Amino acid sequence: MPHKPGLDKAIRYIEAGLKTKLILEDIAEQANLSAWHFHRVFLASTGITVGEYIRKRRMSEAAKELVFTAKPIKQLAGEYQYESQAAFTRSFTQVYGVTPGKLRRQVGPLQYYNAISPQPRGDKMLKAIIKHKDAFRVVGITCQNTMKNNNIPALWTEFNRQICSKVSESLKPGVALGICYYTDCSVMNEDTPFTYLAGVEYPADKDCPAGSEYRDVPASDYAVFEHHGSLDTLSETYNGIYNNWLPNSAYDRNQTDDFELYDQRFRFGESNSVMEIWIPIVKK
């Protein structure tokens, strides 16, 4: 019997704990992922960060209680894990554009934020090729990102303009790599920074070109997937990898960098474009 998607289990855990202190590491454990990778997968699968989802769901359930019960606002604030009534009111107003007190007095329906189920979008069937890659060095430039702020497109523009011509000794001409640094965070949320490097594979015994930096990626086995089409649908491929392929495979995700590979098959914005996603794996 196929394994039930880990995200579905994680969301049920969140829903059962809306009135408790939810810890990201505990939520991620439901999906058998590290907190770091769970955060990435959740965003790719649902279009919303874990923290924002929890906030909206708590506010939605609190709104129902405001309308249908006589509980004091201060009591609701405590039940939904807010340190004060003022903090609860600020968060509630951000979601609904109205204070809790005003909502209780208003007449008319309210749009609730319902629980979501991260089922795969479309019927895309993913096939993986298992490959081993020895340790390698990537030279390029990096940027800091968060789940809220994506600086990666601008980084590639800068790489193509400033660095690409300087890396003439690339080991694989015409092939670019986007390395997402593995992060083992004790605290992880949508504001936690992570590092991404746009670059090329480069000889480890050569000096880095001026203005660049490097990343040494350790040896690992990888599950290699092809993404076909525009980058606008890239999240669907990641969703299929983490929500379907990985849970039903004989592998766990290895705790090291993953990367994207762009070669002559990649055509930005075109439907016939192909790029690769390399996910580090270990046998279960």
pLDDT, averaged per 10 consecutive residues of the chain (284 residues), comes to 62 94 91 82 80 91 86 94 94 87 67 67 70 96 82 86 84 92 70 88 91 94 94 81 84 92 88 93 93
C-beta neighbour count of 185 within 10 angstroms? 15
pLDDT of residue 124: 55
Fold that domain 6-105 belongs to in CATH: Arc Repressor Mutant, subunit A (1.10.10)
pLDDT of residue 122: 41
Domain ranges within the chain, ordered by starting residue? 6-105, 129-283
| Cβ pair 212, 163 in contact under 8 A | yes
pLDDT of residue 48: 83
| Cβ pair 178, 259 in contact under 8 A | yes
pLDDT of residue 4: 46
Query: Where does residue 268 rank: exposed (0-12), middle (13-18), buried (19+ CB within 10 A)?
Result: exposed
Those residues whose C-beta lies under 8 Å from the C-beta of residue 179, and which sit 6 or more positions away, are 138, 196, 197, 199, 215, 217, 257, 259
pLDDT of residue 110: 61
Tokens of 259: 């990367």
The span from the CA of 231 to the CA of 155, in Å, is 16
Q: Say if 6-105 and 129-283 have the same CATH topology.
A: no
Q: What is the pLDDT of residues 64-82, one digit of tens each?
A: 888 778 899 999 999 999 9
Q: What is the pLDDT of residues 163-216, one digit of tens each?
A: 888 888 889 988 999 999 988 765 566 677 889 999 999 999 999 888 899 999
Q: Write down the architecture of domain 129-283 according to CATH.
A: Alpha-Beta Barrel (3.20)
The span from the CA of 12 to the CA of 209, in Å, is 50
The span from the CA of 137 to the CA of 32, in Å, is 29
Q: Please report, for residues 65, 99, 108, 198, 206, the alpha-carbon distance to residue 103 in angstroms, rounded to integers and kept in the order given.
A: 11, 6, 9, 48, 65
